[in-house]
Structure 1
Amino acid sequence: MKRDDAGDLLAFLAVARERSFTRAAAQLGMTQSALSQIVRNLEERIGVRLLNRTTRSVTPTQAGERLFLSIGPKFSEMDADLAALSELREKPAGTIRLTAGEYAANAILFPALSRLLPNYPDINVEVIVDYGLTNIVAQQVDAGIRPGELVAKDMIAVRVSSDLRMAVVGSPAYFASRKRPKMPQDLTSHNCLNLRLPTHGGSLYAWEFEKNGRELNVRVEGQLVFNSAGLLLEGALKGLGLAYLTEGHVQSFIAKRQLVRVLTDWCPPFSGYHLYYPSRRQPSPAFSLLVDALRYRGK
């Protein structure tokens, strides 16, 4: 079938369905005279009159009715197939690469992904556990999750958690032979589990405290140094020293009395986790769905 024939047949179908050149022309976005000429040309090419025209009505001839009933369903099927292809094209799909710390991945990402991914099988997510402030543009990562105070100002930041608090914890066995610290300065006499992060140029992380507007950073000492929050937690549970971790990381262990919390009044809330990504990024449907699934809506 020639391209012109297909266009002419669509014009004929519109007139036969509407029983009006005026309504069909409006539907097709052309003038009535142009539509009339298209149908007349089609009739001349096939040598059969397809429409009976009077001043009051337009009705298909016997040949026109046969053509209408024959090709009408076929064009409807093609329209349905094209609509299905359009839906497939618009279906969220693709791979999203994210960077986050271990705790944020477990506490924030996994719950959101467990809700999102079963409904969108064509979305794939790669999670890169990284404690440094990854340059997500240079590393070709779509987005990262970090505390809000660490997100660069030129990034779009979406809150994905409530405010955070830090906690100093040790096991009951550890405190069995040691006094609990009352002030951050007391930590100098304790065996503390240190954390070495690329964020701080490879140096040991100083524990940060604040009370009544007074800020203190304490560089603690101890026998063990780790580069993973998970290992800090394990070391504290085994009684190897005090650990400085996010409250959410240790709450369940405190509730079960596997860990004891100290210096609570020196650990005020601070900005919660945020998903961040470049402001110039054009979000894909898949990425927009993930952002919405992660967005913190309060409690």
Structure 2
Amino acid sequence: MLKDNFNDLLSFMVVARERSFTRAAAQLGVSQSALSHAMRNLEARLGVRLLTRTTRSVAPTEAGEQLLSRLGPHLLEMEQELTALRDMRDKPAGNIRLTAGEHAVNAVLWPVLKPFMARYPDINIEVTVDNGLTDIVDGRFDAGVRLGEQIARDMIAVRIAPDMRMAVVGSPDYLARYGVPGTPEQLAHHRCINMRLPTRGGLYAWEFEKAGRELRVRVEGQLTLNSLPQRIDAAEAGLGLAYVPEDSVENALASGKLVRVLESWCPPFDGYHLYYPSRRQHTTAFALLVEALRIGPSSA
């Protein structure tokens, strides 16, 4: 009885966290029907409904939320302790879940992950590419990657990239046709390639600074794209000006496919950091990844 309850409680935690029998079953390595049957049996033994099921989603009931808040931390602590024991083997092993924006993955994470995973074949890494400001605690991620200025004070932050600069770029043909903007305010007279913020739903305001003066300019144009490579390609095609990380267009600038404008309005700023909760106990595998990514001292 105790063993059945323990296994089913662990399964309940995953279902409640994922809010999906499909995703939970995939994580647990069981069929959806077996998982659903186990949840019904748990509810029958406890005499209370723990999950509200619809054709499209599943969510904890009030009783389920109460059970999750009371037992969840204890079960998580037990899981972490067992993982720590498993990490004492000769070969580091475990699962690591990360979330990061598209540019951070391509420019910082992926170049490190390729040799890291070859060196540690028993460490499994899942990377979710998300340009929004994801809540890593709610999303059950081990860590995330953000710019230094975007990290909450209660997180541990480890610098994994140098300072960055943004660049406003356009094709030679576009600039010959529409002219070169001399100030950020003149962008109002240009076609600009917009990006929509996934977190807030609005269009991203381009940020500038010069001699202590800060400006946030909301631009307009024919095209809105969330994909960085597509924004660069659109700029190269002459469809407008793009506001992109400097390192992502180095080759295009060197070859003359793109021309940079408003450079003096784009100063360096704090680059990417890996961040994670200070209260969470991490595995040996996670510690190895942090050290592989680190390029400077950590900061709280």
Find the aligned partners of 1:86 and 1:266 in 2 and give their Cα distance. Answer: 52
Find the aligned partners of 1:176 and 1:124 in 2 and give their Cα distance. Answer: 50
Deviation track 1:100-154 (CA, whole Å, cap 9, x = no partner) reads 1111101111111122111110011111110101011111111111111111111
CA contact (8 A) 1:205 1:219 kept: yes
- Alignment correspondent of 1:243: 242
CA contact (8 A) 2:87 2:283 kept: no
- Alignment correspondent of 1:144: 144
- Alignment correspondent of 1:283: 282
- Alignment correspondent of 2:233: 234
Deviation track 1:254-282 (CA, whole Å, cap 9, x = no partner) reads 11111100000000111100000111111
- Alignment correspondent of 1:95: 95
- Alignment correspondent of 2:175: 175
Relative to 1, partners in 2 of residues 1:87 and 1:97: Cα closer, same or farther, differing over 3 Å? Answer: closer
Amino acid at match of 1:202: G
- Alignment correspondent of 1:198: 198
Find the aligned partners of 2:195 and 2:245 in 1 and give their Cα distance. Answer: 13
CA contact (8 A) 1:102 1:130 kept: yes
- Alignment correspondent of 1:112: 112
* 1:273 is aligned to 2:263: no
Find the aligned partners of 1:86 and 1:135 in 2 and give their Cα distance. Answer: 28
- Alignment correspondent of 2:224: 225
Relative to 1, partners in 2 of residues 1:119 and 1:176: Cα closer, same or farther, differing over 3 Å? Answer: same
* 1:209 is aligned to 2:195: no
Find the aligned partners of 1:178 and 1:86 in 2 and give their Cα distance. Answer: 62
Find the aligned partners of 1:217 and 1:87 in 2 and give their Cα distance. Answer: 48
Find the aligned partners of 1:100 and 1:86 in 2 and give their Cα distance. Answer: 27
- Matched position secondary structure for 1:198: coil
Relative to 1, partners in 2 of residues 1:133 and 1:184: Cα closer, same or farther, differing over 3 Å? Answer: same
**Where do 5+ consecutive residues of structure 1 fail to align?**
1-84
CA contact (8 A) 1:172 1:260 kept: yes
Aligned length: 213
- Alignment correspondent of 1:48: none
Greater Rg over alpha carbons, structure: 1
Amino acid at match of 2:177: S
TM-score under structure 2 length normalisation: 0.68
CA contact (8 A) 1:222 1:241 kept: yes
**Where do 5+ consecutive residues of structure 2 fail to align?**
1-84
- Alignment correspondent of 1:54: none
Relative to 1, partners in 2 of residues 1:221 and 1:124: Cα closer, same or farther, differing over 3 Å? Answer: same
CA contact (8 A) 2:101 2:145 kept: yes
Deviation track 1:43-68 (CA, whole Å, cap 9, x = no partner) reads xxxxxxxxxxxxxxxxxxxxxxxxxx
Find the aligned partners of 1:204 and 1:108 in 2 and give their Cα distance. Answer: 25
CA contact (8 A) 1:168 1:245 kept: yes
CA contact (8 A) 2:194 2:221 kept: yes
- Alignment correspondent of 1:36: none
CA contact (8 A) 1:208 1:217 kept: yes
- Matched position secondary structure for 2:178: coil
Deviation track 1:144-180 (CA, whole Å, cap 9, x = no partner) reads 1111111111111000100011100011121121211
- Matched position secondary structure for 2:138: coil
- Matched position secondary structure for 1:290: helix
- Alignment correspondent of 1:42: none
Find the aligned partners of 2:110 and 2:226 in 1 and give their Cα distance. Answer: 22
Moved more, 206-215 or 245-254: 245-254
- Alignment correspondent of 1:16: none
TM-score under structure 1 length normalisation: 0.68
Find the aligned partners of 2:276 and 2:229 in 1 and give their Cα distance. Answer: 26
Among the aligned pairs, what percent are the same residue? 60
Find the aligned partners of 2:282 and 2:234 in 1 and give their Cα distance. Answer: 41
Find the aligned partners of 1:226 and 1:243 in 2 and give their Cα distance. Answer: 10
**1:77-96 correspondence runs (5 A):** 89-96=89-96
Q: CA deviation at 1:244?
A: 0.3
Amino acid at match of 1:102: E
Amino acid at match of 1:187: L
- Matched position secondary structure for 1:174: helix
- Alignment correspondent of 1:185: 185
Find the aligned partners of 1:280 and 1:238 in 2 and give their Cα distance. Answer: 48
Find the aligned partners of 2:148 and 2:170 in 1 and give their Cα distance. Answer: 27
- Alignment correspondent of 2:21: none
Find the aligned partners of 2:198 and 2:111 in 1 and give their Cα distance. Answer: 27
- Alignment correspondent of 1:158: 158
**1:41-52 correspondence runs (5 A):** none
CA contact (8 A) 1:102 1:230 kept: no
